[in-house]
Amino acid sequence: MRRWGMVIDLDRCTGCGACMAACHQENNLTAAGPEQTRRDRAFHWLKMLPTESRLGDEVMTRYLPQPCFQCDNPPCVRVCPVHATYLNHEGIVGQVYARCIGCRYCMAACPYNAKVFNWFEPEWPGDMKRKANPDVSLRPKGVVEKCTFCHHRINRAKEEARVEGRDVRDGDVIPACAENCPTQAIAFGDLNDPRSRVSQLVSGPRVFRLQEDLGTEPKVFYLAEKE
């Protein structure tokens, strides 16, 4: 059984935000616009989390790329009243947009604030809607949505592998954020495969996860910066 995971090397990450833009494009995210962003309704599946560290008078601000962490023990799934969000057998937390009633309990329960809500009917500037990625559904207003580790790309890789009569190999699935990272800071793959790149990175000494003490078991790992 596969267990998809992601490793983000903060030593390589420059905080450029290309992953964010790629995610937006790939997953047909609506543009919140300046007015709604001012009202704290910015719309990103992958966010840049600002972190400050102080060393004496020196303040250093970094940005951590933060997708949905696809927890193994997801607090959002536990509270959903209608099975709209669920953990699939490959470890991805899915969201059934057609079933979500928009109660936003999952958003209130998620300690990482990974989910976003469609406050209005989504709009795309110009003819962007016609050029939407056909592999990803357009979400209506009033539902919660989230990062899926580019689940459509996983499915496509699996289908291609089946046509060619082989297993999905490490590196077959590359989410949009990883694909567009100019410094290749994001690695993606099967955590259950000991030979995969993510498994090897995860066994290194620099690995940490955000708020591990909560017991949510996120499947997004960070590699700390070297001294």
Q: Which helix (H) or strand (E) holds 178?
A: helix 176-179
Enter the DSSP assignment of 212.
G
Residue among 11, 53, 108, 208 that touches another protein (CB under 8 A): 108
Helices and strands (H and E) in the chain: how many: 7, 10
Contact between 109 and another protein (CB under 8 A)?
yes
Contact between 116 and another protein (CB under 8 A)?
yes
Classify burial at 31, counting beta carbons within 10 Å of its beta carbon; exposed 0-12, middle 13-18, buried 19 or more. middle
DSSP states along 36-91: HHHTT----SSEEEEEEEEETTEEEEEEEEE-----SS-HHHHH-TTS-EEE-TTS
- Report the distance separating Cα 222 and Cα 7, nearest Å: 6
Give the shortest CB-164-to-another protein separation in angstroms: 37
N- to C-terminal Cα separation, the chain = 37
Give the shortest CB-96-to-another protein separation in angstroms: 9
Residue among 11, 14, 88, 101 that touches another protein (CB under 8 A): 101
Give the shortest CB-52-to-another protein separation in angstroms: 8
Contact between 144 and another protein (CB under 8 A)?
yes
Contact between 60 and another protein (CB under 8 A)?
no
Give the shortest CB-50-to-another protein separation in angstroms: 6
| Binding residues for another protein restricted to 69-98, rule: CB under 8 A | 75, 78-84
- Report the distance separating Cα 62 and Cα 194, nearest Å: 31
Contact between 208 and another protein (CB under 8 A)?
no
List residues binding another protein (CB under 8 A).
36, 39-42, 47, 49-52, 66, 75, 78-84, 99-105, 107-109, 111-113, 116-121, 140-144, 210-211, 214, 216
